[in-house]
Structure 1
Amino acid sequence: MTHSFVFRTVELDGEHLRIAIRPGTSPMPPLLVFNGIGANLELVFPFVQALAPDMEVIAFDVPGVGGSSTPLLPYRFSGLARRVARMLDYLGYGRVNVIGVSWGGALAQQFARDYPERCKKLILAATATGLFMLPGKPGVLWKMATPRRYIQPQYGARIAPDIYGGAFRHDANLALSFSSKIRSGGRRGYYLQLLAGFGWTSIHWLHRIRQPTLVLAGDDDPLVPLINMRLLTKLIPNAELHVLDDGHLFLVTQPTAVAPLINRFLAEETYRASIHAPLSEPQDEPA
């Protein structure tokens, strides 16, 4: 499955980011993927492979995850968005389309706000506004507060139905397969990701996001209840919502169902209202 990806490692400020690029020939901007908390880039490969074959895709391991180095100091979403912009500069990309999944959806919102000229379209999957979101059940959040499910795959497979919902409730092999692809970056990297989102919210500036936005949600999401995606759709001026019959990880469980939605959304062209020429020539102003 990885034969079509080109792997690179770039150094920024003494730290290394591991990147996978699927080259494409489409004239549209490449799709940049912001992954979920603790999730290494290999977990999105089946989804990427389901996308239009000519679409260029960029995925990377967040600092402290997978093959990227772990920072010495904590970071915030604003600082990480800045680093991503520098990563794109290094790789020679200008404008991109962006998809953010769960934790990565918060980073995607931050990137779209801070670098609007570099983000053409925005896709938010199973994510929320941060601090003022309606949270999942306390027991589910408690299990998410530790990277144990990534460090101990058997434990991760056992709790997957509770934290991910949807197809994971009915297919034990799905949880085992998902856990086998995880490449843990360790506890420190996970806790740095948690800390990055502590106190963060986008609720007071979502109205400034002008990019066409596709919001994707599962109707059985124990982590991010559906009402959060409805709120995102209401607050972002140019947003549309699509609800899937699944849980939190529908990009993993239904890549062939989600990919056509994204292909169609990214292929659509949006046109600004045109300003028509006046019926008569305007008179010159007096000198």
Structure 2
Amino acid sequence: MSRPFVFRTIDIDGQTIRTAVRPGDSAIAPLLIFNGIGANLELVMPFVRALDPELEVIAFDVPGVGGSSTPSTPFRFPGLAKLAARMLDYLDYGQVNAIGVSWGGALAQQFAHDYPERCKKLVLAATSAGAVMIPGKPKVLMRMASPRRYVQPSYGVRIAPHIYGGAFRRDPDLAMAHASKVRSSGKVGYYWQLFAGLGWTSIHWLHKIRQPTLVLAGDDDPIIPLINMRMLAWRIPNSELHVIDDGHLFLVTRAEAVAPIIMKFLAVEKQRAIMHPEPAVTRAH
């Protein structure tokens, strides 16, 4: 049975960060979740519930989102990766596995690159290499550039099929359920997140990411066209790509199908080297 989350609000250099930890008792390293733009940690709960209940999970609201304070000036991705590392120090974690979703996938890439000793394995879901990505349709991107769907839930429900695709096109109840979990901190935090990724790209250092990496993509994702995920898998040396029959939020809508793929990936350890004995020396007679 899954254990309840333990919520804490911590202070890091004057920045208030809301955290949630689901305790676990697994041999697998804890899983740190980097959420999508504007998304408070409650939005990933359906996915977490689908994971092995023994897996320890760490979720948090980035500055300007949910229960975390909004900074007076925006962070860039390197600064946010440093903040995440400081948060792990505060919560007394060493090495973790990391999963990044959409905007959070860019932050997860930065974290894995800047703190390789802290990141054992990397999961990238519905994300891209940033500024060099092949963009979605202009109308979709225009809607994503505004926090309106978080500030005005009824608007979010109306546009959900068009921006998230997949199951959201077929089931209107999904949009209602998603909107009910939204906890907006206002427009400024959303714009600060947009600024964090302005002009950012990982394309020139993706080949330096050495962690085993699982790349997950939706085949009906209006925000991140599939070719972007193929590019990530091509550029990251030790990676594998799985394409999910769904849209942008497949971690939530297809949680029961995706969670086992992730758990299997996290559970596999590198095969230990076999130490062969020294060959016997043949003496000359």
Unaligned segments of structure 1, at least 5 residues: 282-287
State the alpha-carbon separation in 1 of the partners of residues 230 and 278 from structure 2. Answer: 42
State the alpha-carbon separation in 2 of the partners of residues 201 and 280 from structure 1. Answer: 54
State the alpha-carbon separation in 1 of the partners of residues 150 and 57 from structure 2. Answer: 25
State the alpha-carbon separation in 1 of the partners of residues 277 and 115 from structure 2. Answer: 33
Q: CA deviation at 1:279?
A: 3.5
Would the aligned equivalents of 2:100 and 2:108 in 1 still touch at CA under 8 Å?
Answer: yes
Q: CA deviation at 1:74?
A: 1.3
Q: CA deviation at 1:21?
A: 0.4
Is 1:188–2:188 an aligned residue pair?
Answer: yes
CA distance 1:109–1:219, change in 2 (3 Å): same
Cα deviation code 1:103-145 (max 9, x no counterpart): 0000000000000011000000000000000010000000001
Residue 43 of structure 2: aligned partner: 43
Is 1:166–2:166 an aligned residue pair?
Answer: yes
Residue 34 of structure 2: aligned partner: 34
Would the aligned equivalents of 2:219 and 2:243 in 1 still touch at CA under 8 Å?
Answer: yes
CA distance 1:172–1:95, change in 2 (3 Å): same
Map 1:34-73; keep pairs closer than 5 Å: 34-73=34-73
**TM-score, normalised via structure 1 length:** 0.95
Q: CA deviation at 1:278?
A: 4.8
Map 1:73-222; keep pairs closer than 5 Å: 73-222=73-222
Cα deviation code 1:210-242 (max 9, x no counterpart): 100000000000000000000000000000000
Residue 285 of structure 1: aligned partner: none
State the alpha-carbon separation in 2 of the partners of residues 187 and 89 from structure 1. Answer: 30
Q: CA deviation at 1:15?
A: 1.1
CA distance 1:160–1:2, change in 2 (3 Å): farther
Q: Percent of aligned positions with the same letter in both sequences?
A: 70
For these two proteins, the number of residue pairs brought into alignment is 281
Q: CA deviation at 1:270?
A: 1.4
Would the aligned equivalents of 2:3 and 2:23 in 1 still touch at CA under 8 Å?
Answer: no
Q: CA deviation at 1:180?
A: 1.0
Cα deviation code 1:231-285 (max 9, x no counterpart): 000000000000011000001111111110111110111136567565379xxxx
Aligned-residue Cα RMSD (Å) equals: 1.6
Write the letter of the residue equivalent to 1:23.
Answer: P
Write the letter of the residue equivalent to 2:37.
Answer: I
Map 1:230-241; keep pairs closer than 5 Å: 230-241=230-241
Residue 271 of structure 1: aligned partner: 271
Would the aligned equivalents of 2:2 and 2:53 in 1 still touch at CA under 8 Å?
Answer: no
Is 1:258–2:258 an aligned residue pair?
Answer: yes
Q: Post-superposition, which runs of at least 4 consecutive aligned residues in structure 1 deviate over 3 A? A: 271-281
**TM-score, normalised via structure 2 length:** 0.96
